[in-house]
Chain A
Amino acid sequence: MKQGIGCYLRTHRRLWALKEKELAFLLGYQSASQVSRLEKSKRTPKLRVAIACQVIFGIPPATLFPNLYEKVEKDTMTRIYQFYQGIEHGSTSSDLRKRELCEVALKRAVEGSKQ
């Protein structure tokens, strides 16, 4: 199975000549080992840390953590499909609106996978 690059945090840290300890300080971590675990995808970044990464490097979490994004997207799309099936035959205006949301999300995911 291809692994490739699941997390670009190490790349961007090194592009800017930052040490693990320095990035740990910027992210509000106590030690460099926490950054190391993030970089090796051994730990899932918390929302606060993902936003801090975007603030520091100017790169959105979806680009910085592609593996994580892919996993969350897949799980969410599965739930969206289940939700869609539940409201498929509903005829109220709110059901129509919810169906529209599901279709838009599905279309976005398909377009994203083509890129």
Chain B
Amino acid sequence: MNTKRGENLVLSLYPTSRGFAFALFEGPESPVDWGVKDIKGRKKNSDTLDAIQKLFEQYEPEVVVIENTDVKGSRRSARIRRLYRSIAHLAATRNAELQRYSRQEIRATFGAVGGTTKYEIARAIARQIPAFAPRLPRLRKLWMSEDPRQSLFDAVALAVLYLQSAFSGRGCELE
């Protein structure tokens, strides 16, 4: 875990209607920081960008991973799409490499370990990385709104996907 500062850090971001979730990894199965930030008010996008900027300043990640909303079938709102464009711009100004993965790619990867729904993917992550197990939300019923903790697992899934492709062939496979 004692790597050079700022190097090899992968930051994945998953904005939601209530804020955003982030996960910072140093390597496969090595989470460094993670959390869900609540953003309220009328200037959600600019407040979210300010919070993300602070993360950039604190950690200087090498790679930023976000969801690809340009693919057919993406159901993210216009505000979130605008926010993703701003994050991409922010990553470029900070000289961070940007990686984007669609929901389909996430489902295809986690499908190999029996994760097709968001909850199943979260459970697979909690199995793989025990640090996230205490944050696993309850199984959502039809009448329940999504647990805010779910967004954390969505962010982690993006980072895991990137790390798996970056470290493939070096013993980093989903179990």
B: contact size bracket:
10 to 19
B134 at the interface (CB under 8 A from A): yes
**Nearest A residue (CB) for B34:** A14
Are A3's CB and B34's CB within 8 A? no
A: contact size bracket:
10 to 19
Are A4's CB and B131's CB within 8 A? no
Are A10's CB and B5's CB within 8 A? no
Are A3's CB and B131's CB within 8 A? no
Q: Is the interface of B mostly helix, strand, loop or mixed?
A: mixed
A5-B134 CB under 8 A given contacts A63-B1, A67-B5: no
Are A6's CB and B1's CB within 8 A? no
Are A4's CB and B1's CB within 8 A? no
Complex Cα spacing A49 to B101, Å? 42
B119 at the interface (CB under 8 A from A): no
Instruction: Choose from B5, B31, B33 the contact partner of A2 (Cβ within 8 Å).
Output: B5
Residue-by-residue, is B1-22 near A (CB-CB < 8 Å gives 1, otherwise 0)?
Answer: 1101111010000000000000
Instruction: Choose from B26, B33, B58 the contact partner of A3 (Cβ within 8 Å).
Output: B58
A47 at the interface (CB under 8 A from B): no
A3-B60 CB under 8 A given contacts A11-B31, A11-B32, A15-B131: yes
Within 8 A of B (CB), among A50-70: 59, 62-63, 66-67
Cβ–Cβ < 8 Å partners of A67 in chain B: 5
Residue-by-residue, is B42-65 near A (CB-CB < 8 Å gives 1, otherwise 0)?
Answer: 000000000000000111100000
Complex Cα spacing A63 to B26, Å? 14
Complex Cα spacing A5 to B24, Å? 11
Are B31's CB and A3's CB within 8 A? no
Cβ–Cβ < 8 Å partners of B1 in chain A: 8, 11, 59, 63
Rounded to whole Å, the gap between the CB of B161 and the closest CB of chain A is 21
Residue-by-residue, is A5-22 near B (CB-CB < 8 Å gives 1, otherwise 0)?
Answer: 110101100111100000
A17-B134 CB under 8 A given contacts A3-B58, A5-B59: yes
Cβ–Cβ < 8 Å partners of B32 in chain A: 5, 8, 11
A14-B5 CB under 8 A given contacts A3-B58, A4-B60: no
Are A11's CB and B33's CB within 8 A? yes
Rounded to whole Å, the gap between the CB of A16 and the closest CB of chain B is 8
Complex Cα spacing A59 to B32, Å? 15
Within 8 A of A (CB), among B87-110: none
Are B134's CB and A3's CB within 8 A? no
**Nearest B residue (CB) for A40:** B58
Are B5's CB and A15's CB within 8 A? no
- Interface residue ranges, B against A (CB under 8 Å): 1-2, 4-7, 9, 26, 31-34, 57-60, 131, 134
